[in-house]
């Protein structure tokens, strides 16, 4: 018999969809992805991108600091349960994701640690095939497979991820290690300018490292970067190595010229933000669902999570190359669950 709803993906979007559909008695199955070396290499292990980071400071409900005093003063004698929460200080990315997974499981979500590698949406029930050979029939599907940040691929960049190397200024820019310190942004497109502009609020100077002699960004964005006195564009250069040590993490970058003159320079910096785009995890969906030119899934109805196939919904970064935040992914996961539930109800 076909499942009511199958959710593909295990980030905030997938688990939120699972929590909502499980509570609506739809008995969801989540394919959370497989634990393989290939998935580790590309950064798509179960629990999503947030599991790759350390601290999460902007997901509501997890303030930092000792909350015992605040909670004590906020409660009356009866509300003892709040007093027990004082240990909850901030949250790490992996912790947050384990909590979401546990919450989905508590409501009866079935979890398969497996990748979906092939789909057939041409007829109903839909058919999904997993990497381990499972064949699953589904009345509705929620795709929440996310998008992974592109990195330069340098060993030194890998060594300092979460210790100065980041792919998300909005997520990490406000951390203490970056405040009033020189920072580096790699890239020359609109998102690189956005990241540099945002980081200029925190850093003492933001070096943009760009391989060419003009930015790829739109004119309005390029003008914004050039006009910002805190942004210093290093034209015709690329990062050759991230410099740092175990104790402090990133201390600078070595740049090499792209003009072939062999020149290198070292810049001091406590952070390197890589802004060279994202790759949505949609390869297995090519030819089955409409996508944008950058291979993100297309939402086909305004303010809904419908895709180009009726009964198939998309949530999170796999369809959103604009906000790319855990809370927005969770929000659209909730929307997809409600959209799927109402669509199933409409099918009788």
Q: Active-site residues: which are they?
A: 168, 171-172
Rg, Å, the chain Cα set: 22
Using a 10 angstrom Cβ sphere, with 0-12 exposed, 13-18 middle and 19 or more buried, the burial of residue 25 is: exposed
Q: Any residues with CB less than 8 A from the CB of 102 and at least 6 apart, and which?
A: none
Using a 10 angstrom Cβ sphere, with 0-12 exposed, 13-18 middle and 19 or more buried, the burial of residue 286 is: exposed
Name the residue nearer to ligand FAD (CB basis): 56 or 196: 56
C-alpha–C-alpha distance, residues 196 and 344, integer Å = 45
Residue with tokens 């303010």: 303
| 3-class DSSP state of 314 | strand
Minimum CB separation from ligand FAD for residue 324, in Å? 5
C-alpha–C-alpha distance, residues 208 and 225, integer Å = 9
Name the residue nearer to ligand FAD (CB basis): 26 or 275: 275
Residue number with the smallest Cβ distance to ligand FAD: 146
Name the residue nearer to ligand FAD (CB basis): 234 or 296: 296
Minimum CB separation from ligand FAD for residue 240, in Å? 22
Name the residue nearer to ligand FAD (CB basis): 311 or 331: 331
C-alpha–C-alpha distance, residues 6 and 94, integer Å = 23
Name the residue nearer to ligand FAD (CB basis): 96 or 205: 96
| 3-class DSSP state of 99 | helix
Q: Which residues pair with 130 in a beta bridge?
A: 116
C-alpha–C-alpha distance, residues 191 and 212, integer Å = 16
C-alpha–C-alpha distance, residues 290 and 297, integer Å = 6
Minimum CB separation from ligand FAD for residue 265, in Å? 27
Residues of this chain that bind ligand FAD (CB under 6 A):
8-14, 31-33, 44-46, 48-50, 52-53, 56, 58-59, 115-116, 144-146, 149, 167-168, 171, 281, 284, 316-318, 324-327, 329
Nearest to 209 by CA among 162, 275, 278: 275
Name the residue nearer to ligand FAD (CB basis): 146 or 203: 146
Tokens of 278: 């994202």
């Amino acid at each position: 018999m076909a499942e009511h709803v199958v959710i593909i993906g295990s980030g905030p979007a997938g688990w939120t969809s699972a929590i909502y559909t499980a509570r609506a008695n739809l008995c969801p199955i989540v394919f959370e992805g497989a634990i393989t070396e290939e998935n580790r290499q590309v950064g798509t292990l179960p629990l999503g991108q947030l599991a790759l980071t350390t601290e999460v400071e902007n997901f509501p409900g997890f303030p930092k600091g000792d909350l015992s005093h605040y909670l004590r003063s906020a409660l009356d004698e009866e509300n003892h349960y709040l007093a027990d929460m004082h240990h909850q200080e901030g949250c790490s990315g992996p912790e947050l994701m384990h909590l979401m997974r546990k919450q989905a499981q508590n409501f009866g979500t079935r979890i398969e640690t497996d990748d979906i590698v092939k789909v057939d949406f041409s007829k109903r029930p839909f058919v999904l095939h997993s990497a381990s050979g499972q064949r699953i029939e589904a009345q509705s599907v929620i795709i929440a497979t996310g998008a992974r940040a592109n990195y330069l691929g340098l060993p030194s960049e890998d060594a300092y991820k979460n210790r100065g190397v980041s792919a998300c200024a909005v997520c990490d820019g406000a951390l203490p290690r970056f405040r009033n310190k020189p920072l580096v942004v790699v890239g020359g497109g609109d998102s690189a300018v956005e990241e540099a502009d945002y980081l200029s609020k925190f850093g003492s100077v933001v070096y943009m490292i760009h391989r060419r002699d003009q930015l790829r960004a739109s004119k309005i964005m390029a003008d914004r970067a050039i006009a910002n006195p805190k942004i210093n564009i290093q034209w015709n250069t690329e990062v050759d190595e991230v410099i740092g040590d175990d104790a402090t993490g990133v201390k600078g970058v070595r740049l090499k010229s792209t003009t072939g003159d062999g020149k290198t320079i070292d810049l001091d910096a406590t952070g390197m933000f890589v802004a060279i785009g994202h790759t949505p995890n949609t390869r297995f969906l090519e030819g089955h669902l409409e996508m944008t030119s950058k291979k993100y899934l297309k939402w086909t109805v305004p303010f809904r999570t419908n895709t180009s196939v009726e009964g198939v919904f998309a949530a999170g970064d796999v369809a959103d190359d604009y906000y790319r935040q855990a809370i927005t992914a969770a929000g659209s996961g909730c929307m997809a669950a409600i959209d799927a539930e109402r669509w199933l109800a409409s099918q009788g």
